[in-house]
Amino acid sequence: MRLEELKKYKKILILGYGKEGQVTEKFFKKYLPEVTIGIADKKISQNYLNDQKNYDLVIRSPGIPKKLVTKVYTTATNIFLANIDNIVIGVTGTKGKSTTASLIYSILKTAGKKVHLVGNIGLPMLEEMLKTIEKNDIFVAELSSYQLDDIKYSPHIAVVLDLFPEHMNYHGDIKNYYQAKKNIIKYLTAKDYFIYNPKFLNLCEWVKDVKAKTIPYEENLPIKDKDIPLLGEHNRENIKAALTVAHIFNINNKIIIKAIKNFKPLPHRLQLVGNLKGILFYDDAISTTPESTIYAIESLKNIGTIFLGGENRGYDFSNLVKTIQKYKIANIVLFPDSGEKILQLLKSQSEYKPKILVTKNMTDAVSFAYKNTLPGAVCLLSTASPSYSLWKNFEEKGKEFQFFVKKLC
């Protein structure tokens, strides 16, 4: 909604009072000081959803599914996109969003552009609207399926990286999840761009449904492999996405190469955190689907121990187990709840018998890895499942892993 539309409402409820909700409150106090603002959050009251009946408009926070909203509503993402006149580059996909958004930001900044990183990885979008915005400012927004689920506007440049089953508990099924992602291109115009990875057939199908200029990833990278600070073929794909965006802005390859060379990998993404008696400990806590863990295994290859398991979302782990068997990973740590499902698949393999530890305890897991991983091999935290069975998020899981690794070191 544009500000003019928002002014029609006298009582507005911010539903969900996390970081984004707090910034949304500041936004309304600055631009609509006459409006009565209410706050509803689970931390304030278990019956917080009932507060909606007392308000004219609800601002839904991303973590709250739209099916729980009972009044007319909008979101901070919609407010931002409706009221910003600058170029917005939206980045989504199941995996790689943060890295790709950061790469695009780094390239544009190296090229001398005034660029802002917002959304999941950067500042809440509305926080930027509390500041002075110049006409040449560019915004790179990482957009989750939660934010795209009810989007009414598209960014000027929509980048979609990949699609795997995820967030089924939130969206209900894979069809709804993919549709939420597809919403990023729903309102593109002939002046806009849709950049996509042609290796995903469903993204190639999406091309038929947009008015915008459609550009598949550029295939050839202008940088040598030895100069790329990111591990894995999946990160080559992320760089291709960023390269394709950069060329829309006519940024030359010399600047692009400089930005990539200087790029610092993000935490918890194939991050080397320790070398203990020749054992390399890697934190890939971000990998919470079987597909992303397979990417991690294929990137590192020489894995002696892997940590798997977490919240059970009903994922199919059969291809993951085949990959583990292919790379002859000798030691496996399994966390609840999906660890039990993986264990049953492992037991069904007649010729592959790894050493297995089933545990809820990260310190036991790290100690097991230290005792059983051969020097020169890798211990990899890449659980192929969401973290919520034992940890509040992947960051907490990764930090706990790093703490015990460094404690051993």
- Please tell me the distance from the alpha carbon of residue 385 to that of residue 317, in angstroms, as a whole number: 10
**Residue where one domain finishes, among candidates 229, 261, 293:** 261
pLDDT in tens, 45-72: 999 999 999 999 999 999 999 999 999 9
- Please tell me the distance from the alpha carbon of residue 287 to that of residue 340, in angstroms, as a whole number: 18
Same domain, 314 and 172: no
Does residue 135 have a pLDDT over 80? yes
Contact 156, 87 (CB under 8 A): yes
Same domain, 30 and 72: yes
Give the rounded percent of residues in the chain with a pLDDT score beyond 90: 95
Same domain, 194 and 62: no
Could you tell me how far CA 18 lies from the centroid of its own chain? 18
Domain count, the chain: 3
pLDDT in tens, 74-107: 999 999 999 999 999 999 999 999 999 999 999 9
Whether residue 266 is contained in a domain is answered as no
Q: What is the mean pLDDT of residues 157-179?
A: 92
- Please tell me the distance from the alpha carbon of residue 322 to that of residue 319, in angstroms, as a whole number: 5
Geometric angle at alpha carbon 286, from 397 and 326, rounded to 5°: 105
Same domain, 248 and 278: no
| Domain CATH code at residue 285 | 3.90.190.20
Confidence at residue 399, expressed as pLDDT on a 0 to 100 scale? 98
**Residue where one domain finishes, among candidates 198, 231, 261:** 261
**Residues whose CB is less than 8 angstroms from the CB of residue 226 and which lie 6 or more positions away in sequence, other chains included:** none
Closest C-alpha to 379, from 392, 391, 370: 370
What domain range is 397 assigned to? 271-408
Task: Tell me the C-alpha to C-alpha distance, in Å, between residue 157 and each of 32, 94, 101, 153, 404.
Answer: 30, 18, 12, 12, 42
At 27, is the pLDDT very low, low, confident or very high (cuts 50, 70, 90)? very high
Sheet containing strand 57-60, edge to edge, reads 36-40, 11-15, 57-60, 73-75
Beta-strand (E) ranges in 31-134?
A: 36-40, 57-60, 73-75, 87-92, 115-119
**Residue where one domain finishes, among candidates 234, 261, 288:** 261
Whether residue 65 is contained in a domain is answered as yes
Same domain, 216 and 279: no
- Please tell me the distance from the alpha carbon of residue 362 to that of residue 387, in angstroms, as a whole number: 12
